[in-house]
Structure 1
């Protein structure tokens, strides 16, 4: 009687489950068993995902997963007592549950909108291993007749898992015996061991050809290991592409009855290769031949692995010896030279690759090209700069062109980044030795960076001392000042502009309670700014004076428009902080030009007061030229600062005291009102308050100060007080 389409489908599924169950018991490990199971299910059932959920104590954990639905994995582990007990005893399907079912697992599948799914319990007697989940994103009708068949199949899977556990235990038991019996053969080379093994395999099975393939973990392939026995055959490597089932690559794996036979070489539950024979002289390979090869493999796997490890050890010692030689050469370079050219040349020879050394701003300072040209170099520099500033990893790799890969590592010392090391890493095996070589290169480069920094710090100390002696009201020893200037090849009598830079830490930096840490943060920013200024213009003299940072710029650098020059310079420094991901604020005050030595002090005083003004009045601009500050330049020449302070107190003290700690800042309200020339509309818009609120505040201000804001005289006095406040109040007293 002809079978219906449904009956044929049922029969095919039953046959597949039987075949799968038979295959499962052949695997040596639980991982291989489960991997084969889910691959088999996905192949036959055409489902979207298959997962194995293991029961481990009181939790369900995702053991193996294949296909889509990976977001489900993120919700594991799940508590067993919060899931349906049916999962461990019977098959459960989507049509048997709803959102009211008290089971976190089934609710998860419903939440993820899995249209069709069913489970298969994996149980061997009283031993519950967990269950298998098979899912379809779209609706698929299920065959209810297969319910019991799948349950029985789950028992077969549990038996296979139990068997794989026993195999693993047995291999561990014999591991010690194999090691003791064959460890004395370490003096044999791997070629000698392989030659004896393949000869014994060929003669013992009457094969015309025998060989060994060893598994290379790095390359993920089986490599033909010479010599072979018998008929010459072209050597070949067998790549492992995703599927780790040996039978795919060696069809006659532990399978007698054909003209080929393959036995795995296993050590410590790990397949290190296979012993392979072909073309039996008479008949086919038998079960006895299989036992002979298994006996050989069980006794030689350790010996082969030992020989391979011994060879690797010899190679490793030689590489270490060479590395020590290069270390001595690199240390010699740091002692004899002050630059990095010798270091990059030696590193290029060590790696046989192109090497580039950058400073902390990714500016190339030395390089040695091995198989790159100058065009490649420029492209590499641009890409490396982009990668470093975007990703900020300790180690990163990127592609320059097709087939070209470059690695970049930071060079650090003293807790800060000093530079970056870039090396062509195309087709490079990144092993422990390679990383050791990279660490050596970074350490040597760090020494040279620190050596240069010490020299520069010494020069900076001398320069700071010189600047401090120059920027005083009365210069004690002009001749000494001139000698210092000659030391730095600087003509003091050329026209210069004096500027003062101030760094205000961002909110995160202000929260640092430790004063030393806060100062270290500012010093680090200043070091970066100094380096950028020297790149911007080497003629700028840079120095520190207490908490202030001094810039002395040749006047001819300003060109026809001083404000444009300083605007570009300020923008360059602000861009540097943004590039570093720092939101600290820079303020720059620019004083007048110098003609004589005494003018430097005057210019410095003007720069300080311009800095005070810009930090209070023009913080959004960030810089100000003293000569362009209007009435501020006249007020600067007041000889008696105490008179100015008395005037400020008389005009504004009541507002300062009232606004302290209050949300209604009358001090700022009056300043904005005066700056808008008494416009109620413009003032309320800038302060974001209602007109009536502003009028209330102005009335309050008039009562506190006893002034009439409609009086031009009173308003002039108040404006004068605000300008004097900007010039003479310290930063700690800043109100707006």
Structure 2
């Protein structure tokens, strides 16, 4: 537009160059327009500005409306020398650009090819500018409208993109919520989310164990645990409910974005949802919203499962308590409740108690709440996995099981499975002791109370005898089981002191082990060789100790009738040892 005006006036006035200056109301100055004086240099043209009220020919013509001719531009004091030097000119003619009574700028024409500018040139230019000013203003308005139209088009395009994103977000939200309401489970939710965001999805639990993955993934390479080990600051962000993003992240040989959202937060943190996606600038916001929605839905699903598990666990605990206490006198009613849990009370079973405690007291509890929660969860998980047909109830740090068991082969299989559970638990919870007590085989609801009491007794005696990390059946208790049933502990204590009192006192004062020596001697039926091997001492040393025992107790160990009383007293001593 400006170039057309310049071309017209330079042809009509036979001039070499021209320039248009328009008044910028916002900046309150005259501004040279491009192109100007045969120049296209933005930096030079932008420097040609005259503030309103400033000096110079251009501002004077603009403010007064009077045109001006100078045929000696270099020496003319009305012209600003810096602009004359910027665009060298030998002569100049300047006229105002007016639309009606409004001035919109000025027009400079420089360097007439033949001679000087005349009044006739001024008349021609003045006549032209009345029309050119309207043309220029209309062109400016047209260009401004085009710019506004472009801005509106761009804004509309952004609105459409934003609307599509919102629709996509709503679609993600609605589909995920619908799956939760339909009870389709975590696997289905994870797959749906992966399809919606077109990326790999990984779900891990609170202990960073892989729960679900939409692609085959090596757990060790892409676990949140590894990322947290490398970037410690991420742990607190995730615990506070923040979404974290790591990019670029190398996945299967390609650079990807790794976005992690916590499932829950703080003390209610239940796991982690990870999204592994090809880097795309236009999908960043959508990916974050999608993973946030996915984490919320998975938290809802996990909470639903947790509530379901807690309610079912409560019913299971109540049922087992009633079964073991014989609260339900109606056998049919008990069987019906067992059927509800898909367990047949008519099949031969054993009651098994598994207890974990670092202190050695099977009725103790754990102090750390998280340790307690993890312990119970791991106990139940291991038992369900290894004994899938059993009825499992976790209560405190003790697990109660009803295990189908018929015949010797079943018992041997049970021992293997229980040992496997023990190994897994001791590996997961270092430093904890495991005690496993097994009641007698029972069949029919009326017999489970007896098997349970036997399991309790077995577990208690196992802890007294120090049989931690062992599977102990009630049938293995022998005389200990009989002694445990004696309710009068004073009677047992008197019997122990009568038979072993002096020897116990001797051991205590001299920190010796004559009682243990006597136990091994009696256990091997008086065989000096076998007893010495069991005690890891020389036969001569054993003979000396036996002699001292006979002197202290004033008995003759060659008389075998003394053996039974002494063996019974030693067994009773282990039962009532804390009372001595």
Q: TM-score range by the shorter chain?
A: 0.5 to 0.7
Q: Which residue of 2 aligns with 1:343?
A: 189
**Map 1:154-303 → 2, pairs under 5 A:** 203-204=41-42
Q: Confirm or deny: 8 A CA contact 1:360 1:418 kept in the other structure.
A: yes
How far residue 473 of structure 1 moved from its aligned partner, in angstroms, is 6.7
Distance 1:352 1:690, change over 3 A: farther
- C-alpha distance in 2 between matches for 1:471 and 1:324: 52
**SS across alignment from 2:419:** helix
In the alignment, the residues of structure 1 paired with residue 471 and residue 369 of structure 2 have an alpha-carbon distance, to the nearest angstrom, of: 23
TM-score w.r.t. length of structure 2: 0.55
Q: Measured at CA, do residues 614 and 416 of structure 1 come closer, stay the same or move farther in structure 2, by a change above 3 Å?
A: farther
Cα deviation, 1:301-358, whole Å, max 9, x if unaligned, reads: xxxxxx9xx99x9999997896576456545544442621442134214532122435
Distance in 2, matches of 1:587 and 1:202, equals 92
Q: Which has the higher contact order (CA 8 A, sep 6+)?
A: 2
Contact 2:201 2:276 in 1 (8 A): yes
Q: 1:574 to 1:340 in 2, by over 3 A?
A: same
State the alpha-carbon separation in 1 of the partners of residues 262 and 563 from structure 2: 59
Residues 677-704 of structure 1 deviation map (CA, whole Å, 9 limit, x = unaligned): 6677877787788999988877776677
Q: Which of residues 186, 197, 200 is equivalent to 1:354?
A: 200
* Contact 1:353 1:424 survives alignment (8 Å): yes
Match of 1:594 in 2: 442
1:553 pairs with one of 362, 386, 403 = 403
Residue in 2 aligned with 1:261?
Answer: none
Q: 2:503, 2:515 within 8 Å by CA — same for their partners in 1?
A: yes
Over the aligned positions, Cα root-mean-square deviation in angstroms equals 5.4
Match of 1:612 among 448, 460, 473: 460
Equivalent residue for 1:472?
325
Q: Distance in 2 between matches of 1:721 and 1:383?
A: 57
| Cα contact 1:614–1:623 (8 A) shared by 2 | no
Check whether the contact 2:458–2:473 (CA below 8 A) recurs between aligned residues. yes
Q: Is the 1:500–1:607 contact (alpha carbons within 8 Å) kept by the matching residues of 2?
A: yes
Deviations 1:17-55 (A, max 9, x none): xxxxxxxxxxxxxxxxxxxxxxxxxxxxxxxxxxxxxxx
The answer as to 2:297 corresponding to 1:444 is: yes
Indicate how the Cα distance of structure 1 residues 463 and 424 shifts in structure 2: closer, same or farther if over 3 A, else same. same
Which residue of 2 is the match for residue 566 of structure 1?
415
Q: Distance in 2 between matches of 1:203 and 1:729?
A: 106
In the alignment, the residues of structure 1 paired with residue 558 and residue 324 of structure 2 have an alpha-carbon distance, to the nearest angstrom, of 45
* Aligned equivalents of 2:167, 2:405: Cα separation in 1: 58
Tell me if structure 1 keeps the 8 A contact 2:355–2:434.
yes
Instruction: Give the direction of change, closer, same or farther, for the CA distance of 1:519–1:586 in structure 2 (3 Å limit).
Output: farther
Task: Indicate the larger mover: 476-485 or 330-339.
Answer: 330-339
Shift of 1:493: 0.9
Q: Which residue of the partner structure matches residue 517 of structure 1?
A: 367
Structure 2 residues not aligned, in runs of 5+: 1-25, 28-33, 45-150, 230-234, 239-244
TM-score, length of structure 1 as denominator length: 0.45
Q: Residues of 1 paired with 2:533 and 2:40: CA distance?
A: 97
1:519 & 1:501 partners in 2: Cα distance? 19
Residues 390 and 348 from structure 1, CA distance in 2 versus in 1: closer, same or farther, beyond 3 angstroms?
Answer: closer
Greater shift, 606-615 or 590-599, is seen at: 606-615
Name which of 603, 609, 616 aligns with 2:451.
603
Tell which deviates more after alignment, 676-685 or 334-343.
676-685
Q: Cα 1:708–1:638, aligned 2, differ >3 Å: closer, same or farther?
A: same
State the partner residue of 1:716: 564
CA–CA distance in structure 2, aligned partners of residues 346 and 598 of structure 1: 50
- Residues 375-400 of structure 1 show CA distances to partners (whole Å, capped at 9, x for unaligned) of xx2xx2x5349967899855999977
Q: Is the 8 A contact 2:204 2:212 kept in 1?
A: yes
Cα distance change of structure 1 residues 390 and 480 upon mapping to structure 2, 3 Å threshold: farther
- Quote the Cα distance in structure 2 between the aligned partners of 1:519 and 1:712: 55
Determine the C-alpha separation between the residues in 2 that align with 1:428 and 1:652. 83
| Contact persistence 1:655–1:704 (CA under 8 A) | yes
Which of 384, 387, 399 pairs up with 1:534? 384
Map 1:311-710 onto structure 2 (within 5 A).
326-327=172-173, 329-331=175-177, 333-337=179-183, 339-358=185-204, 366-367=212-213, 369=214, 372=215, 377=216, 380=217, 383-384=219-220, 393=229, 401-403=252-254, 411=263, 415=267, 418-419=270-271, 421-425=273-277, 438=291, 441-472=294-325, 476-505=329-358, 517-518=367-368, 521-544=371-394, 548-556=398-406, 560-578=409-427, 580=428, 582-617=430-465, 619=467, 622-629=470-477, 647-648=495-496, 650-651=498-499, 671=519, 674-675=522-523
SS in 2 for 1:593: coil
Q: CA deviation at 1:443?
A: 4.3
Provide the C-alpha distance between the structure 1 equivalents of 2:169 and 2:541, rounded to a whole number of angstroms.
77
Shift of 1:485: 1.1
Structure 2 CA distance for partners of 1:663 and 1:501, relative to 1, 3 Å: farther
Asked if 2 retains the 8 angstrom alpha-carbon contact of 1:495 and 1:595, the reply is: yes
